Structure 1
Amino acid sequence: MELALVVIVVAFALGFDYTNGFHDAANAIATSVSTRALTPRVALIMAAVFNLVGALLGTQVATTIAEDIISIGSVSSEEALIIVLSGLIGAITWNLITWWLGLPSSSTHALIGGLTGVGIASGVTVHWDAILDKVVIPMIFSPLVGFSLAFGLMVGVLWLVRNSAPARTMRRFRLAQTASAAAMALGHGLQDAQKTMGVIMLALVAGGFYTQGDAIPLWVKLSAAGAISLGTYAGGWRIMRTLGRKIIELDPARGFVAESVAASVLYASAYWLHAPISTTHTITSAIMGVGATKRLSAVRWGVAKNIGAAWVLTIPMAALVAACVYWILNPILT
């Protein structure tokens, strides 16, 4: 029974990783596609490849997910696996709802919300201090940092190219966007694929195959990297339209700056803070920041308001779904 549950949980974890890939594909390539720096298919292939590479570059975020959100050592192996499974179902459900609505919500916060909700429902230890330090505070500050840095850098770029020929300048920035989109995809793999690695390790520890603190095995890294890459290649066209066109009409210079800033924030959070921040929040706020350099009214704040509402609802709604799933599954499977 335990082995079957482990297999089911790992399958659901990779399913979440796949939905994360197509849900968040827009994070890496929406700006490049909207400015015509890359064709959609080329952009998706590039994003999938760099997602794969990024997923193999570290495990700091995976360790945070596996060890710092909830502790499941106080319950039986079967219940621990049901807890992880319920958290994943909560996250997948919210991902699919927001994908259908075309809203760029955070897969990161959906997963953390799912784990937190099922942790409360099951009565296991929830590490509120770690959630505050590594989730809530970065959730508040990463969009502010993304917006501010993107706005400031865009002002500097506009000043540097003020006397340049517009057509030639935009052509150069369109070429530069290939590199910035790749950097963004690398950061997405570095952040988001690691979260799935952490959940798989939770399941493997619960099933008795590993102990807490063990290094993440290579097969877990490769499977998580592969799943998010396949999901990215599948594309997320609904959300891509929202990020690439509905918030603001981007030009290549603004697209390059937004991607560069967002990628830098992702790298800093993964390597220095070990914090699982949202790629969605980061790139969306950076797009708003570069857009605001035109004029504040250039940003479609009505769309931004809808996106903000999805951000606020993500953790509690994923938590609620996960808790309900646990209350249904636990009596049946234990």
Structure 2
Amino acid sequence: MPPHRRTPRTPARASRGDRRPRRPRRLLAAAASVGVIMLTTAGTGHADPYAGPVPVPTMAPSTLDVRYAAERRAIERALKTAQDVGDADRGRALGAFLRPGRRFLYFDPRGRGRAIEVIGDISRARRVAILVPGADTTLSAFDERGAKPWSTPGGGARAVYAQARSMSPDPGLAVVAWLGYAAPKTFSSDVLTDDRASEGAGKLRRFLTGLHRVNPGATVGLLCHSYGSVVCGRAAMDGPGSAAWRQVTDIALYGSPGTTAWSASELSGTARVWAGRGATDWMEDVPHVRIFGLGLGPDPVSPDFGARVFDAGSGGHSDYLAPGSTPLRNLTGIALGNVAQVSDG
């Protein structure tokens, strides 16, 4: 299939928030995309000091508390390791994981780390939102990233949960911060292919299978940011027919570089596919192509792609879940499965 050609921007689209010249931004983005192919990552040669994941029972209503307790003990051990080896950033993050009330269904401190946190009660929720983060997401950046904690999996999930509770006293929502895959680095060749996303897609589908055992009556909304939208896209295309996948009613792609799909219809099955991009998100200037396995395909907010475009406001790549913002309100509406609460882009 030939590479996708972007639909020319309408005058109305070009007039939103960002007043910077477009051509230099496109050239810089294209140069950066090509440049990462040239980068190589040298190994440190050091053994990983952290232990692997602990054995936990299969997800089921009766095993949730056991898993939460086991993963908490694993976090405590990893924190001790961080202190022993002088890993201050990891130590701060793990200390925050151990605050009262936090619950993790999965934890692996090796390498850049993986973790799955639950906010709310997934066994009784009528609706479960799963936040899938993008590149540069690590355990150390699970809750904090500069002055924008909402741009992290943990901070973003809490922002969605708080917004839902402000919209309804009983939203019936649980939110999952799902760092269940090895997210790539922004400046690496991994972000130009779907290799990491394919690995993550399998893990996301297995998590959905576990969620189905825990709560088969809940419906699910996927909130997929940046490279996380590639993970969601691959998961949607890798066979949407399972009972667990049929629980997914909404897939929101925001700040997306593409999904490898050529149209929203390849992702939908029975789910609504949403797309949004802030007016000053640099992702607009990433080349939306796919050829010889490089690139991630068409722009999800382009008319030809066919997604439901929601208003993502005037912010940048890290601003979608900022408290009080238009995109947070709309993404929470999608998380709740309430189409009437989502404003068009």
TM range (shorter): under 0.3
Q: Which is helix-richer, 1 or 2? A: 1
Q: Which is strand-richer, 1 or 2? A: 2
TM-score normalised according to structure 2 size: 0.24
